Amino acid sequence: MLQILHNNRCGKSRNCLAILESKKLEFEIINYLTTPPTEATLKSVLKKLGIPPIDLVRQKEKLWIDTFKGKTLSEEEIINIMITNPILIERPLLITETSAIIARDEAKIHNFLQ
């Protein structure tokens, strides 16, 4: 089943959700701020995205800048930081059984859903 990792306070996330609703697709909304992904889930999403953990971090987020920027961190440490601080996870994410995208671009969302 299609899932969206969603933050209702994020305009890009709300836009992605609106696209899903307009297409009348069946999907699950996961508010990742209240239900953070597990380590296994996050690793699975990273594998589907085909990116290293640092590329899923919201590096302009104040928490990242104040606490982690400039530090040498392993991939495992970055994953644990995102689990502990889910606000640092890039959003929204669209996830299927076999693939995932960071769904910030409308055209990318439409292509993914075809």
Q: Which residues are known to be catalytic?
A: 10
In Å, what is the CA distance from 112 to each residue of 30, 87, 100? 18, 24, 8
Residue 19 sits at φ, ψ, to 5 deg, of -65, -45
